[in-house]
Amino acid sequence: MDLEDAGIGEGISEVIVTTKSASGKPNAAPIGVITTISDETGEPRHFVKLYRGSQTLENVRETNMLAANVTNDAIIFVKTAFENLSEDNFTVFVDMPVLKEANAWVIFTSDLVEERSDYLRFQILTRAVEIKRKEVKAINRGLNAVIEATILATRYELIEDERGKVEIRKLMERYAEIVKKCGGRREKDAIGILQEKVLQRYGFRFA
Amino acid sequence: MDLEDAGIGEGISEVIVTTKSASGKPNAAPIGVITTISDETGEPRHFVKLYRGSQTLENVRETNMLAANVTNDAIIFVKTAFENLSEDNFTVFVDMPVLKEANAWVIFTSDLVEERSDYLRFQILTRAVEIKRKEVKAINRGLNAVIEATILATRYELIEDERGKVEIRKLMERYAEIVKKCGGRREKDAIGILQEKVLQRYGFRFA
């Protein structure tokens, strides 16, 4: 099944992955779905890397299921990078928790294909697709600046040398400036939430 | 008329602006449509800054018309940043040249509101809208990395000090790495075109 129509094309698609524990508790986290196209058959294959210690990995090990929620909502990316969403953000599709506000849902089953010291890599196989809302959307540099700043923030604690940390803080400043200049309200609110989270967790302010 | 449905929301929407000269020759260039929402009325207003020396400015001064083409095509952004498109990329909508492959077209008339040493700012008023193709599309970091690298490349010649140039080249390297990791074929082809253009114009390679 080709997921292009659900917004998941070649390369890495940044989506919100929703999963549930064996007991049914839903979880949401921002994750890249990696899509490769076979040179021989032209068929796409999809993978995810799930990091050790994450709730997503724990849930996938328990259920072998995950859902990709395709969305442009900067706030959801920031929030889920730092904490789970409250239950009222979720609904159910094919017995899996998914985000009410997503533009498309894709349910996958997972096959473990690689074990690394920091992550496990799974091939994921499409089981169901629901396209909820198609739209036209111009590129907004602020939206992606929120995503880039969020990724940097989550990596910050993994950087050990002070020079590396300074470099990351400088890039985060730069992205915050792009959001200020180019973002809409949603992106500006999102970077505000990120600034709070970063101050709480790491004790520094940016932009 | 609210342009949200055509993909042009609050903040800066990166679009391809198409214009024509008095004699009818079409031109395409990547430009940000600036949308502000009035705190009092909630009404959006749209603006563009057109740089002196650009064909777009010359055409808008001759015709007082421009079209915004909403697209996610990384290749079109890179190409139009460095050269005009060939005529077979254009079609006509309400007597204006527009891009065949765009997802939406918006035709504007222009009112000069500010003159600066390097650009003129126009308020633009919607005259016609055509939504051509709605879609679902997950965020792809590679797509925006192409846009950011392209913007940096077009600014490179304006930077005078060597340290500033080194900084820009370093950022461009970083964006090229994001494209390599996260982009699809279209984004990878686009960064390849950008690398060629940069080598031709400035004589350096990146990534």
Looking at the predicted structure, is the pLDDT value of residue B1 above 70? no
B163-182 confidence digits (pLDDT tens): 999 999 999 999 999 999 99
Place of tokens 């600066």: B116
A26-37 and A11-20 strand pairing: antiparallel
CA distance B41 to B39: 6
Closest CA to B19 of B76, B81, B97: B97
Which chain B residues have any C-beta within 8 angstroms of a chain A C-beta?
A: 5-15, 32-33, 35, 37, 68, 70, 72, 77, 103-104, 131, 133-144, 147-148, 181-185, 187
Which residues of chain B lie closer than 8 angstroms to A185, CB-CB?
10, 37
Chain A residue at shortest CA distance from B146: A141
Contact B126, B3 (CB under 8 A): yes
Are B11 and A182 an interchain contact pair (Cβ–Cβ within 8 Å)?
Answer: yes
CA distance B30 to B148: 12
CA distance A53 to B173: 32
The CA distances from residue B89 to A70, B3, B36, in Å, are: 30, 24, 31
B92-119 confidence digits (pLDDT tens): 999 999 999 999 999 999 999 999 999 9
The rounded radius of gyration (Å) of the Cα atoms in chain A is 17
Contact B137, B72 (CB under 8 A): yes
Are B187 and A11 an interchain contact pair (Cβ–Cβ within 8 Å)?
Answer: yes
3-state SS, one letter per residue, for A149-166: HHHHHHHHHHCCCHHHHH
Chain A residue at shortest CA distance from B133: A136
Give the per-residue pLDDT at A1.
64
- The values of phi and psi at residue A77, to 5°, are -65, -45
The encoded tokens of residue A207 equal 């932009």
B28-50 confidence digits (pLDDT tens): 999 999 999 988 998 999 999 99
**Which candidate from B10, B33, B134 shows the least CB-CB separation from A135?**
B134
Residues of chain A with pLDDT under 70: 1
Q: What is this structure's pTM?
A: 0.95
Q: Please, what is the average pLDDT of chain B?
A: 96
3-state SS, one letter per residue, for chain B: CCCHHHCCCCEEEEEEEEEECCCCCEEEEEEEEEEEECCCCCCEEEEEEEECCCHHHHHHHHHCEEEEEECCCHHHHHHHHHCCCCHHHEEEECCEEEECCCCEEEEEEEEEEEECCCEEEEEEEEEEEEECCCECCCECHHHHHHHHHHHHHHHHHHCCCHHHHHHHHHHHHHHHHHHHHHCCHHHHHHHHHHHHHHHHHHCCCCC
Are A147 and B141 an interchain contact pair (Cβ–Cβ within 8 Å)?
Answer: yes
Looking at the predicted structure, is the pLDDT value of residue B195 above 80? yes
CA distance B164 to B171: 11
Q: How far apart are the first and last CA of chain B?
A: 44
3-class secondary-structure state, position A55: helix
**Which candidate from A9, A70, A141 shows the least CB-CB separation from B184?**
A9
In a 13 Å sphere around the CA of A199, the CA atoms on its Cβ side amount to: 9
In angstroms, what separates the C-alpha of A8 from chain B's closest C-alpha?
A: 6
Q: Is the ipTM of this complex over 0.90?
A: yes
Which alpha helices (H) appear in A29-112, and where do they start and end?
A: 55-63, 74-82
Contact A7, A132 (CB under 8 A): no
In angstroms, what separates the C-alpha of A176 from chain B's closest C-alpha?
A: 14
In angstroms, what separates the C-alpha of A150 from chain B's closest C-alpha?
A: 12
Give the per-residue pLDDT at A2.
79
Residue B2 pLDDT grade (very low, low, confident, very high; cuts 50, 70, 90): confident
